[in-house]
A and B are shown apart, each in its own frame.
Chain A
Amino acid sequence: MVKLTAEEDSLLNGDAGEVRSLAMRHIVEVARFFDAERLVPVSQAHIMADTEALGEPGVQHLERLAQYDWDDRRVLIPTITDPRGADFKAYEKIRHDTRIVELEARARDAFIALGVLMTDTCINYQTILPPVKGEHLAFGDTGVCIYTNSVFGARTNYEGGPSALAAGLTGRTPAYGFHLDEHRRATQRIVIEETPDSYDAWGALGALIGERMRSYYDVPYIEGVTRAPDSDELKHFGAAMASYGSTAMFHIAELTPEAEDACDSKSVLPTTRLGKADIDAYQSRFRRDDPGLDVVVFAAPQLSLLELQKLAGLLDGRTVSSAVSLIATTNPEMKAAADRMGLTEKIENAGGILLEGVCFYQMHARDLAAANGWHRLMTNSAKLTNIIAGYGYEPIIDTMERCVDSAVAGKVMS
């Protein structure tokens, strides 16, 4: 049975208003479901709440909360947002339905009324405030969660939007899953034969590992990585693993902070070997007989400043074919930096579109496909490759260089 502190009990009983009481009731219900014995204080919450997921009922729920007095409705800990469903500054460039934009504006206004910071990002760990080892958090996006647990050694479960908001309103989350030591230990061993050297190959490797995980509580221990990957490589690796596997944590031998304590004896863990042939086979799944191409997308996760620099460098002085759209997404902070440093100009001069505060699959991708005639999609993101097929697209994965070459040629270059 979950034991509450006097303060938590008081929140539950409505001493701090109805909004916090409802939030605490939700937290206690989830705690009971997972046999959590207590709640744990969290220092930040990250809310996944684009309008495609919220729907009209979700937006109305937020608007009802926003009606309460400020003292009753404001979040108690720093609470930030995942990418939104529309870029308010650039939605016309991709023929976004204005009804979507209006719904998105209502959701934004309600969140602001609750004291939420509109960071609109799934790379908060690179650009807002990186987590610290041992820090307990209530993070939403699966890519954010897996990076937070694995690379920083901080602690979070997958918190859906309602739970992340409840954590923001109470400063608590149930102590189950990845908040507890026992769930952070390795359950499977993966030996890789070659260290990937591009974002798409890191993503492919993450996808292959994710596919081999059987549940949320499976944690892979990865050996054979011969150099320290950079943050963007690990971002693609983790996001793909989480997308394919519902995986929330990995260890890389001699590299990630909890790897040393992840298992007593590696030899008893079920072991899988993965090599270059496996990565090639993954990419081959998406090869097509004809070179038709509609849209090239760099997103999922949003691009860091360094990825934007690389993309701008590849596009500099070239022109995207009129038959193809090229879209990159980042967060408002990195967009402002890219504007300031001349990167946006290089991307736009080549005919590319740089969107802020959104991610491709979280902005009503099915409607965008219909409005723009997009079907065949090329990307260097394994996560996007996994998700976007569910929206009726035909994805192809390749390197950022090959994606840009294809956008310029107006057809898939291989």
Chain B
Amino acid sequence: MSRLIKGHAGIGSGIVEGEALVAKDNFSARYDLDLKTGRFSRPSHKLYGESFSGRIIVLDIAKGGVASAWMLHVLMSGTHRPKALLLNSANPIMAQGASFGRMPLIDRFEDDVTTVIKTGDWLRLNPSAGTVEVV
């Protein structure tokens, strides 16, 4: 049985499907990721060592400075790309970066997505509607 989680209308169009990679931690494109290996690279991050390539990253809050706006574009132009990003709370830079980098992004959910979604869950997203289906 699938479950529908409602968020705010997000960035991106169409339907995106993929496997969830979840942690109750924050997200900074500049400091948390190694774009060359496609893994989380900050030792203190809860997803340290995990591959984000081809997965849907599910984390708590967007962090990091203005540089992230360009860096999501670098990320999405590389060989190791996540399929989408779900956050409990994004900020202006993350939204701008997702739009420019064409990375599907949804935030402001009715539930804490880092709790209701588990790593390995298969997700079906509709970014423009702001919905996530746990299949």
CA distance A60 to B63 in the complex (A): 26
- Chain A's nearest CB lies how many Å from the CB of B67? 4
Q: Which residues of A contact B (CB under 8 A)?
A: 26, 29-30, 32-34, 48-50, 52-58, 61, 140-142, 157-163, 176-177, 215-216, 243, 246, 387, 390
CA distance A177 to B93 in the complex (A): 12
Query: Does B120 belong to the interface (CB within 8 Å)?
Result: no
In this complex, which of A32, A50, A161 has the most chain B Cβ atoms within 10 angstroms of its Cβ?
A161
Determine whether the beta carbon of A160 is less than 8 Å from that of B74. no
Determine whether the beta carbon of B10 is less than 8 Å from that of A160. no
Query: Does B71 belong to the interface (CB within 8 Å)?
Result: yes
- A–B pairs, 27, beta carbons within 8 Å: A26-B96, A26-B100, A30-B99, A33-B11, A34-B92, A48-B69, A49-B70, A55-B70, A55-B77, A56-B74, A57-B73, A57-B74, A58-B74, A142-B65, A142-B66, A157-B92, A158-B66, A158-B93, A160-B70, A160-B92, A161-B69, A162-B69, A162-B100, A216-B91, A216-B92, A243-B65, A387-B65
CA distance A55 to B97 in the complex (A): 14
Determine whether the beta carbon of B70 is less than 8 Å from that of A58. yes
- Chain B's nearest CB lies how many Å from the CB of A265? 27
Determine whether the beta carbon of B66 is less than 8 Å from that of A30. no
- Chain B residues, Cβ within 8 Å of A32: 9
- A141-B66, A160-B69 in contact; A29/B91 too (CB < 8 A)? no
- Chain B residues, Cβ within 8 Å of A163: 69, 92, 96, 100
CA distance A177 to B91 in the complex (A): 10
CA distance A158 to B63 in the complex (A): 13
Give the B interface residue count (CB, 8 A): 30
- Chain B residues, Cβ within 8 Å of A49: 70
- Chain A residues, Cβ within 8 Å of B89: 215
- Chain A residues, Cβ within 8 Å of B70: 49, 53-55, 58, 160-162
- Chain B residues, Cβ within 8 Å of A33: 8-11, 90, 95, 99, 105
Query: Does B48 belong to the interface (CB within 8 Å)?
Result: no
Determine whether the beta carbon of B95 is less than 8 Å from that of A30. yes
- Chain A residues, Cβ within 8 Å of B31: 390
In this complex, which of B69, B90, B92 has the most chain A Cβ atoms within 10 angstroms of its Cβ?
B92
Determine whether the beta carbon of B73 is less than 8 Å from that of A61. yes
CA distance A215 to B87 in the complex (A): 14
- Chain B residues, Cβ within 8 Å of A48: 66-67, 69
